[in-house]
Amino acid sequence: MTVNERVEALRRLLDEKGLAAWIINGTDPHESEYVSERWKSRRWISGFTGSAGFVVITRENALIWVDSRYFVQCADQIKGTCFEMKKLDGPGASSPVDWIRENVHGKTGIAADTLMVEKQRKYAQEGIEITPSDDLLDIIWTDRPSMPANAVVRMSDRLCGESVQSKVDRIRKGVSGKDAEWTLVSSLDDIAWTLNLRGSDIDDTPVFLAHLLIGPSCVKLFTPRSRFTEKLLSELDFEVFEYNEIISHLGMLENTSVLLNPQRINSMLFGAIPSSVKVVEGREISTDLKACKNKAELEGMRTAHILDGVALVNFLAMVDKGRYSFTEVSIARALANERELEKDYLGPSFSTIAGFADHGAVIHYSATGETDKEIKGNGLLVLDSGGQYTAGTTDITRTLLFGRATKEQKEDYTLVLKGHLALAAQVFPEGTNGHQLDILAHMFLWNKGMTYFHGTGHGVGFRLSVHEGPQRISIHPASAEVKLQEGMILSDEPGIYKEGKHGIRIENLVAVVPAMKTEFGQFYTFETLTCCPYERKLIEKSMLTSEEIELVDTYHAWVWEKLHKLVNPEAVDYLRQATAPL
């Protein structure tokens, strides 16, 4: 079926079901950032392949809201269809919720398993009549992929630094502290971390689709049993039930209490909980526990970043020789080839962003066959990539110079670098949050009348999601809700984006570590994990203080010391020059 035929088929179902509109939010039953093929419903109905967007279909309208990352891509991909694009930000922006309230007269349907409890409440507060139901797309999407049930692997307690039983005991203690007896968890990375299991149901994120129910004396995992070998099943110290059995097991709870997160529990699960059960709402206990990496997890992350650094330097040395012609797509592939040479490399941690020249100004640019730009002449390349390794996850951005740099490019790069260094070097007292530190990364740009609008830092998981909460560093006030604690890993990635010109972003991952303890209390700082040189040819040394020069030189000396015996022999000269003192 064409896009228009799919929309018409859905409209016929709306008539049959007595619905005035249908929402497709593009998520899965777990509110995952990235989803498996089965839940790429936004792409199927509209043809738009971006990772975020909100679809509303009525008898007269087919609308898709996207943010500024996707204006050009979406407009191009829906061209010639019945869809109309709406903007979520920038000039002419509108809200899909406002549009529904003002234009839809009657019930609005949505797949119950993709509607989180908190969002359902917000719709009600906005006066929108939402009707959760079975997914209508199941009727018309005749070749819809089935739910994935890929094999899972068990990580050793040595790598994880803690046994499943120990984690469960800590979770139970936290649940009890919230005056609850049970906890229901649907967040996939929380489940994987708690059970020391990893999967491959979602591209680039080693998780598996499941629900988890932990009670005072039992642990129940709901996921296809076919994932497990008989040997692995026999080794588990928890019960495994089929994925859909979660509904009946929730129904068996009576006169007890359950802790759950309404942001991550869908309305179908919530509706299965008996009225006699007291529902306690709050963030998953495991989310805060896994945010603070233990010694084994930190050591694994350090190892992963050294392995990643070897691949990156071998790649950069090859690029520096200038023997090959690249496009945005082929240079991303060349970097992947280097990572794949490492036996502990498991795959990317997200889709590589490679934006050359003006494409670098598109923050989350994704090159396609139609947009793939040849890398030639003078220009900057924003290269944002990462890997999943046996014992860790990486995420790094480097801005590379091709040809000769302009004065503006060098000044912009150095301003971004100054903010990046200021944040990485800061010492801060216990109780500090990411909102308080964010200005360090922004201030040099602000002083020149410039800024960036994405977050400065996101949490990163241990061989898990490249975007992990609850910690973050952001100008957004919500980042003040979580204090930075020892063992948390975050990105440090300020940038500047000038439409039609260039983009610049510098990103390292850092871990919160103790700095000192004085009569004023405990102080922390950041340990840099990412091991790869900055782009020396873009640094305007005259703009740096002596302290900033020392920070760059110290970092580069560490990179040299860690990598020079591990990289390819032909990369040593490049590394020596790239890490030489300023």
Owner of token pair 């790239």: 578
Quick one: tokens of 236? 């588990």
Quick one: tokens of 428? 């801060």
Which ranges in 78-155 belong to alpha helices (H)?
A: 96-103, 117-125, 137-140
pLDDT tens for residues 324-336? 999 999 999 999 9
Q: What pLDDT, on the 0 to 100 scale, is given for residue 51?
A: 82
Quick one: tokens of 102? 């003002």
Percent of the chain with pLDDT over 90: 93
Residues of the chain with pLDDT under 50: none
Torsion sign (Cα): 13, 15, 17, 18? positive
Contact of 281 with 166, CB cutoff 8 Å: no
Return phi, psi of residue 459, to 5°. Answer: -70, 160
Return phi, psi of residue 213, to 5°. Answer: -125, 115
Q: What pLDDT, on the 0 to 100 scale, is given for residue 90?
A: 78
**Superfamily of domain 3-140 in the CATH hierarchy:** Creatinase/prolidase N-terminal domain (3.40.350.10)
Contact of 192 with 462, CB cutoff 8 Å: no
State the architecture of 153-283 in CATH terms: 3-Layer(aba) Sandwich (3.40)
Q: What pLDDT, on the 0 to 100 scale, is given for residue 275?
A: 97
d(Cα 261, Cα 116) in Å, to the nearest integer? 9
Q: What pLDDT, on the 0 to 100 scale, is given for residue 280?
A: 98
pLDDT tens for residues 62-94? 999 998 768 878 998 999 999 999 999 878 999
Least Cα distance to 359 among 369, 372, 370 occurs for 372
Task: State the pTM of this model.
Answer: 0.94
Q: Do domains 153-283 and 292-578 have the same CATH topology?
A: no
d(Cα 466, Cα 392) in Å, to the nearest integer? 10
pLDDT tens for residues 279-318? 999 999 999 999 999 999 999 999 999 999 999 999 999 9
Percent of the chain with pLDDT over 70: 100
Q: Where are the domains of the chain?
A: 3-140, 153-283, 292-578
Order the strands of the 468-473 sheet from edge to edge.
428-429, 521-528, 508-518, 489-492, 457-459, 468-473
Select 292-578's CATH number: 3.90.230.10, 3.40.50.1000, 3.40.50.2300, 3.20.20.70.
3.90.230.10
Angle at 230 between CA 224 and CA 234, to 5 degrees: 100
508-518 and 521-528 as β-strands: parallel, antiparallel, unpaired?
Answer: antiparallel
Q: Which helix (H) or strand (E) holds 221?
A: strand 219-222
Q: What pLDDT, on the 0 to 100 scale, is given for residue 364?
A: 77
Q: What pLDDT, on the 0 to 100 scale, is given for residue 307?
A: 98
